Amino acid sequence: MQNDPTETGLYTSLEEAKKEIWRRWNNAQLRKSVEDFIENVPVVFGCEPRACLARFVASPNKEYKIFLNLAKQVELKPVGWEYLHDKFCTINHDKLYLGKMIFLTDEKLPGTTIECCHRIIDFGETENAPIEAIKTKWGESLVDFHHRLLIIAGLSIELSDASSWYK
């Protein structure tokens, strides 16, 4: 039987993390030091502590569902921190699977397998293109398509394009 990672000191429980986040947020001297070090704290993080998941494009996968659930448990507003100006390249699997959609059979059933896989973009035309400029095979923006899927899946999240901050 495996040890509980929170008991071994490798991880912090969500309740402890929540307390620590608010302790640090309410420490004016620490916040000033962080703001001085970072210089231009993004607006989305300036008003309150936030739960953040940084990905090239927010998309409704299992990871996002888990992230939103954890954010809710620690009572932090979630933000999807995107990098839409980055270049698309198929060697990066996170980017590849934005354009190569894999659909599973009912995830509630044991033994769920891949039901189908669809390429929704032309990989030859999109290699090294800015992610925000890529169109699906039916002409919709790749970014808009993934954001539309978030809405359809009922995964409400504030999205923030961090491209200028990263640059």
The pLDDT tens digits for 78-134 are: 999 999 999 999 999 999 999 998 766 566 655 555 566 789 999 999 999 999 999
Does residue 22 carry a pLDDT above 60?
yes
Whether the per-residue pLDDT at 147 is higher than 60: the answer is yes
Average pLDDT over residues 43-59: 94
pLDDT in the model for residue 21: 95
Are residues 31 and 56 located together in one domain of the fold?
no
Count CB neighbours of 151 within 10 A.
11
**Residues in contact with 145: Cβ distance below 8 Å, sequence separation at least 6, in sequence order:** 120, 136
* 1 domain residue, yes or no: yes
pTM attached to this predicted model: 0.84
pLDDT at 1 over 50: no
Q: Any idea which of 28-42, 65-79, 113-127 has the lowest mean pLDDT?
A: 113-127
- Total structural domains in the chain? 2
Is residue 71 domain-shared with residue 116, that is, in the same domain? yes
Residues 62, 126 within the same domain: yes
- Closest by Cα among 161, 152, 130, 163 to 58: 161
Based on the fold, state whether residues 6 and 68 are members of the same structural domain: no
User: Quick one: 116 exposed, middle or buried, by C-beta within 10 A (0-12, 13-18, 19+)?
Assistant: exposed
Q: What is residue 37's three-state secondary structure?
A: helix
pLDDT at residue 145 greater than cutoff 60 = yes
Burial class (CB within 10 angstroms; exposed 0-12, middle 13-18, buried 19+) of 77: middle
Average pLDDT, the chain: 89
Cα–Cα distances in angstroms (integers) from residue 53 to residues 56, 71, 140, 161, in the given order: 10, 10, 24, 12
Phi, psi of 57 (to 5 degrees): -145, 135
Q: Would residue 46 count as lying in a domain?
A: no
57 burial (CB, 10 Å; 0-12 / 13-18 / 19+) is: buried
Domain interval for residue 131: 52-166
- Same domain assignment for residues 84 and 154: yes
Mean pLDDT across 23-34: 95
